[in-house]
Structure 1
Amino acid sequence: MDKIIEIIHRIYGDKFTASHVDKLRCSVLEGAGRIIERRHSGWRESDVVLITYADQFSRVNEKTLKTFNRFYKKHLNASFPVVHFLPFYPWSSDDGFSVKNYVQIDTRYGDWKDVAEIKKSCRLMFDFVCNHISAQSDWFQGYLQGRPEYQDFFIALDPATDLSAVTRPRALPLLTPFTLASGEVKFIWTTFSPDQVDLNFANPNVLLAMVDVLMQYLERGADYIRLDAVGFMWKTPGTSCIHLENTHQLVKLFRAIVDVAAPGTLIITETNVPHKDNVSYLGKGDDEAHMVYQFPLPPLVLHAIRTQSVTTLRQWASVLPMRGNGKTTWFNFLASHDGIGLNPLRGIIDEPEIVALVDTLEKEGAKVNWKNNPDGSRSPYELNATYMDALTPPSWSDDERLARFILAHALLLTFPGVPAVYIQSVLGGRNDYDGVKRLGYNRAINRQKYDEDEIENLLAAPNSLRARTLEALTHLIAVRQRHRAFHPDSDFCISEKCNGVLEIIRGNAQDETIIALFNFTERSQALSLNEGCYQDLISEKLIDGEAITLRPWQSVWLCNN
């Protein structure tokens, strides 16, 4: 506990009293005593994460977690040993990210027994929505009613306060007026929406309440803890209020608590921001996050396929700090429940090129979300489309669509780190315009939910895009999981083999080396190889000679026989 108390005092000083310390010590140590399960330590080449909603699949008169478990065991168990459930708590908006109660399961989904049943077949990632809580939550309603235990749980400011320096992720007001039971109107800090009220971590009692939440997740068996929107946790008016030092200290604190209570549990930070800020959450390598989301990867792969040029992608990847130490790694993904973030491109690609990409996809049917800038202008911060539809113009054939999609995911599975695949990608999802119209927000385009019989029938058609996508992805994952060269910590070297062709070498001579080649162009490419006999692990074909010809959008994983 000494490290935990040291971090506490760095954050709060004398504000964190002896009474607070006693409560914290009790919460952590008593919770740790109830955790008897040993966590899987570290990461392996077999670790691939499925990102999904708890109500992704449904059946009449059945809790959705039971439906999910059946579908998962039938189609996904072998490919995805880790399942990231997006928030499955009672919620009021944003598809779960406006949490009303952190420690209950939404009754439509099931209960903690259903979660425990799923955990028998996989490891689980829980969302810790630590920056904000629903305006309909008991905590915030208690604040509005004047209950003393919730005073200072939230941040009320004079609306005349100069907040122009605050980084804004949305084109919405930062302060939202709420009327207290007394009739007084308070302007409350709401970074993301009026229904998502930011917590005041400057109040030690807020920290104690959130530590209790974290401990319950650990006791419920969370193997991964995802810290949602973590960069905004600490607010100091007059600053950017993002990535502040005390925010980093809070992440270090959560890491220290996890290390004491449930060693082996992994902390992942979700910060959709420029790369240098994102990687700062890895700290010194053993004191902050175990993994950070690799946010530049989705838009850079999209950019490479759309421009048929790998130069920018290669330049970015070639200077990535290589982890390889077993202490930290990347959390790689191409699609998620959110859109394709554009902020991570800034500083890598010039703004006119970002805008040109946005314009092209918007004309093809993608949706765009915008953010306000301090100078009063606005910028696109997110593209909304399924990754399948973002990669390929709508007029192209399904064969071409699938080829580009599998190329992108072969690259994802080759990159150093732990890969994660969103359920819509696994199922070959297309843009859900009906969902956007029905729900009224852009992100619904990539959040389609399925009746179990409906999706089973779609997958039963062997020549459908959905069935072919699932088959091709599960094959790629199975190959990756059999080869030590794809271990998250193995060596990584990237180069541009020729115009539009990327080469990645994984592994090492003592163990196993795989040469991965990716043709990001619509033309066939003839390439020279070092003399020898190779097997393409993807197609299982032997390549005997000094050359290989890649089809348009083809990827190969070559192992020297």
Structure 2
Amino acid sequence: MENIAPSHLEQRLMSHLQTLYPNFDASELARTCLTTFNLDPKTESPRPHRNLWDQSDIMLITYADTLRSENEAPLETLQKFVKNKLADSISAVHLLPFFPYSSDDGFSVMDYTTVNPSAGRWQHISDIAKDFKVMGDLVINHCSSRSMWFENYKAGVDPGAKFFYEADPNADLSAVVRPRTSPLLREVQTKNGQKHVWCTFSHDQVDLNFENPDVLLEFLRIIRLYLEKGIRWFRLDAVAFLWKIPGTPSINLPQTHEMIRLLRLMIEHYAPDSVIITETNIPNQENLTYFGNANEAHLIYNFSLPPLLINSLITGDCTHLKQWLMSMPPAQQGTTYLNFIASHDGIGLRPTEGLLTEWELDTLINTMKRFGGRLSSRTTPQGEAKPYEINISLWNALAGSVQQGPDQWQFARFMCAAGVMMALEGVPAFYIHSFFGTENDNERLDNTGQFRSINRHIWQMDDLEHALNTPTHHQKVFQGICRLTQIRRAQTAFHPNATQYVLHMGDSLFAFWRQSLDRRQSLFAVYNMTDQPQNFNLSELNLIATDDWTDLVTEQVYEDHLANVTLMPYQFVWLANKKGKIKLSQPK
């Protein structure tokens, strides 16, 4: 029988599989992977270093059931809202886990293949995907202890019999990096006796064992289903913890990076317009490694941005924010950053390691507590409890300053934060509550006992519509954010990969220059990070003398290139030599 040489795709796949599964036949396993994924081995590779985004891309982060109407599936309510109210402001919707779950607001997945009936159906997600890019969560590190897989694990039957990572309770696990304070191992009675399973996050979230290739094959089936339903962007949740080796930190291991490369290979050959985003809430230098050589994540979360930006706005000093931004490498073509200030989780504090001093971190934490925030901790390998994240709504986080406490500048400070995020290199992502200026939900926190619930408010649509149609801060925030997003989406200098250069204008003014890929549009973003008026001279910006310069925010034209400019507390300017034309959809 004639031997057929493996295709280029098969060869690349086999290389990854040989590294991950040295005791298995890589050739046979590669064929099984391709068959499972319904992928032709002869599929041509997509062109590398393609930017699958531009300045019009802005993401909305939301739970499937954040917006609720009577007698309507929440996903249908969400679909109507984003189509009717946000079509001019966003291009993508990140749907947080919408599956049946047992805890952690969706991140303890019981069944990856079905939509939680209380949220809606797959058709609702496909409907959203007709008008927007949809990002789905691949909760890949762990699943629910109430899942069928875990029940099968305890019974010793497939699928699931060997799906979970077991460890010897007498092994030295002191080096393992933890994001929580709960015990790492959970004792479980199974058909084969007492076992101890690995639980990075909680005892209801049992870690999967990717040393078993059957787990990989199961996730390839899941990914293929998502692709078939219209999902094209994939958020790899908690992926840094994916591979475990007792005696090591069991975070950011080489096998984890290899697995991401394998998944990207499969996904982008199935759908060349697909995007992988790694969720790795870890120190900045470690986070950057998930770009690989432009062959792992297309986007990585800019986890250092939220704590540093909030810290700058409440202290009035942008020194650390500026130093961090100067140290960030420009992303290669085909990769970029995902910029965010708020999300369904809290403000991560690990990304401040090496960036803020202990005293500065304590000041930030105490100020957030003063504004109603709560503090979650993690356990270090030495058994010490360390601050992990601050749980607070963004609106409350920016209520005032370290020196004065709550003040009259909350709205201006909030808009300044949004203005910074939207102008930076990368794709901006707004948590849905940032569109509304939603406050701390202390009632929900009291009901659940979970700190993260404080920033996971559920809006009844009647209440939201009333808030957006009457003179409230919710209306003011919504109108202000929508206007800024529409301005941003028209400027080529805001392309996620456009040139960025940090300017030195003191500790009170945060400033940087952006230039479009074709070099036609230059844009200077200058922000007053304080509660006092600040002055600067346009001569500090090196404006091109032959061009007219306009502040896109106020539409003021600056004919005098040596003029003094006064920025009121938290005011900012986007000075551009050319104005992109804002295109709005028809009113609905």
Q: Fold-level match, TM-score > 0.5? A: yes
Aligned partner of 2:117 in structure 1 is 107
- Alpha-carbon displacement from aligned partner over 1:422-441 (angstroms, at most 9, x marks no partner): 00111111111001001110
Contact kept, 8 Å, 1:273 with 1:343, in 2: the verdict is: yes
Q: Does 1:205 align with 2:222?
A: no
Counterpart CA distance in 2 for 1:400 and 1:317 is 25
Structure 1 residue runs of 4+, over 4 Å off?
Answer: 16-19, 30-34, 394-399
Give 1:61 shift: 2.2
Q: Retained in 2: the 8 A contact 1:155–1:189?
A: yes
Q: 2:585 — aligned with what?
A: none
Q: Does 1:483 align with 2:491?
A: yes
Give 3-state SS (helix, strand or coil) of 2:526's partner. Answer: strand
Which among 183, 199, 218 is matched to residue 227 of structure 2?
218
Counting matched residue pairs gives 552
SS of equivalent residue, structure 1 residue 5: helix
Give the residue type in structure 2 aligned to 1:62.
E
Equivalent residue for 1:502, pick from 495, 501, 510: 510
Q: Which residue of 1 aligns with 2:46?
A: none
Residue 150 of structure 1 aligns with which residue?
Answer: 160
Which residue of structure 1 lines up, in the alignment, with residue 356 of structure 2?
349
| Deviation of the 1:212 alpha carbon | 1.3
Asked whether the equivalents of residues 275 and 296 of structure 1 are also in contact (C-alpha less than 8 Å), the reply is yes
Report what 1:11 is aligned to.
20
**1:549 counterpart residue number:** 566
Task: Indicate if the aligned counterparts of 1:310 and 1:496 stay in contact, CA closer than 8 A.
Answer: no
Q: Is 1:539 the counterpart of 2:554 in the alignment?
A: yes
Q: 1:559 is matched with which residue?
A: 576
Q: Secondary structure at the match of 2:175?
A: coil
1:364-421 deviations in Å (ceiling 9; x for gaps): 3210000111222211110000111112239977851110000011000010011100
Q: Is the 8 A contact 2:400 2:409 kept in 1?
A: no
Tell me by how many angstroms 1:114 deviates. Answer: 1.1
The one-letter amino acid paired with 2:31 is D
Q: RMSD value over aligned CA atoms? A: 1.9
Matches within 5 A, 1:272-311: 272-285=281-294, 287-311=295-319
CA deviation vs aligned residue, 1:193-222 (integer Å, no higher than 9, x gap): 011110000011111111111121122221
CA distance in 1, matches of 2:41, 2:69: 37
SS in 1 for 2:21: helix
- Partner-residue secondary structure (3-state), 2:367: helix
Match of 2:441, as an amino acid?
Answer: D
Aligned partners of 1:272 and 1:430: how far apart in 2? Answer: 24
Task: State the partner residue of 1:512.
Answer: 521
Cross-structure match for 1:234: 243
Separation in 2, partners of 1:319, 1:80: 29
Aligned residue in 1 for 2:177: 167
Could you say which residue in structure 2 is the equivalent of 1:317?
Answer: 325
How do residues 107-126 of structure 1 correspond to structure 2 at under 5 angstroms?
107-126=117-136
| Per-residue deviation, residues 264-320 of structure 1 (Å, max 9, x unmatched) | 2011000000011101010012x1111100000000001111111111111110121
Alpha-carbon deviation of 1:355?
1.9
- Describe the SS at the equivalent of 1:104: coil
Aligned equivalents of 1:446 and 1:231: distance in 2? Answer: 24
Q: CA deviation at 1:499?
A: 3.3
Show CA shifts across 1:110-139 (max 9, x none). 111111111111110011111001111110
Q: Aligned equivalents of 1:407 and 1:339: distance in 2? A: 20
Q: What is the deviation of 1:149?
A: 4.0
Tell me, in whole angstroms, the C-alpha distance in 1 between the residues paired with 2:380 and 2:415.
Answer: 36
Match of 2:78 among 68, 78, 86: 68
Pick one of 144, 147, 151 that aligns with 1:137: 147
Range with greater deviation from structure 2 (150-159 or 292-301): 150-159
- Displacement after TM superposition at 1:534 (Å): 2.5
Q: Distance in 1 between matches of 2:420 and 2:194?
A: 52
2:47 aligned residue: none
- Tell whether the 8 Å contact from 1:309 to 1:521 is kept in structure 2 after alignment: yes
1:408 & 1:148 partners in 2: Cα distance? 50
Structure 2, unaligned runs of 5 or more: 1-8, 44-49, 579-588
347, 358, 369: which is aligned to 2:376? 369
Contact 1:51–1:86 under 8 Å retained in 2: yes
Q: What corresponds to 2:530 in structure 1?
A: 521
Question: 1:24-49 CA distances to partner (integer Å, 9 max, x unpaired)?
Answer: 12022348999xxxxx9611000000
> 1:556 is aligned with what amino acid?
V
Q: Per the alignment, in what secondary structure is the counterpart of residue 22 of structure 2?
A: helix
Deviates more, 1:536-545 or 1:481-490: 536-545
Look up the match of 2:365. Answer: 358
Letter in 1 for 2:274: T
Q: Which residue of 2 aligns with 1:21?
A: 30
Deviates most, 397-406 or 311-320 = 397-406
Give the letter for the 1:90 counterpart.
P
What CA distance in whole angstroms lies between the structure 1 residues aligned with 2:531 and 2:39? 60
In structure 1, runs of 5+ residues without a counterpart are 35-39
Are residue 405 (structure 1) and residue 422 (structure 2) matched?
no
Q: Which amino acid aligns with 2:114?
A: Q
Q: In the alignment, which residue of structure 2 is the partner of 1:460? A: 469
Shift in Å, 1:544: 3.4
Query: Residues of 2 paired with 1:375 and 1:451: CA distance?
Result: 45
Determine the C-alpha separation between the residues in 2 that align with 1:555 and 1:179: 60
CA–CA separation in structure 2 for the residues paired with 1:443 and 1:383: 9
CA separation of 1:21 and 1:56: change in aligned 2, threshold 3 A: same
Q: In the aligned structure 2, how far is the partner of 1:53 from the partner of 1:398?
A: 31
Residues 149 and 28 of structure 1, relative CA distance in 2, 3 Å threshold: closer
Contact 1:339 1:383 survives alignment (8 Å): yes
Q: Which amino acid in the other structure matches residue 125 of structure 1?
A: M
Aligned to 1:434: 443
User: Is the 2:189–2:195 contact (alpha carbons within 8 Å) kept by the matching residues of 1?
Assistant: yes
TM-score (norm 1): 0.95
Tell me if the contact between 1:525 and 1:551 (Cα under 8 Å) persists in the aligned partners. yes
Q: Aligned partners of 1:214, 1:5: CA distance in 2, in Å?
A: 19
Q: Which deviates more, 254-263 or 527-536?
A: 527-536
User: What corresponds to 1:265 in structure 2?
Assistant: 274
Distance of 1:472 and 1:396 partners within structure 2: 24
Seq. identity, %: 36
Q: Report the TM-score, using the length of structure 2 for normalisation.
A: 0.91
Alpha carbons of 1:480 and 1:525: their partners in 2 closer, same or farther (altered >3 Å)? same
Counterpart of 2:197 (choices 169, 188, 201) is 188
- The residue type paired with residue 263 of structure 1 is P
Q: 1:202 to 1:550 in 2, by over 3 A?
A: same
Structure 1 residues 31, 385: CA separation in 2 closer, same or farther (over 3 Å shift)? farther
1:37 aligned partner: none
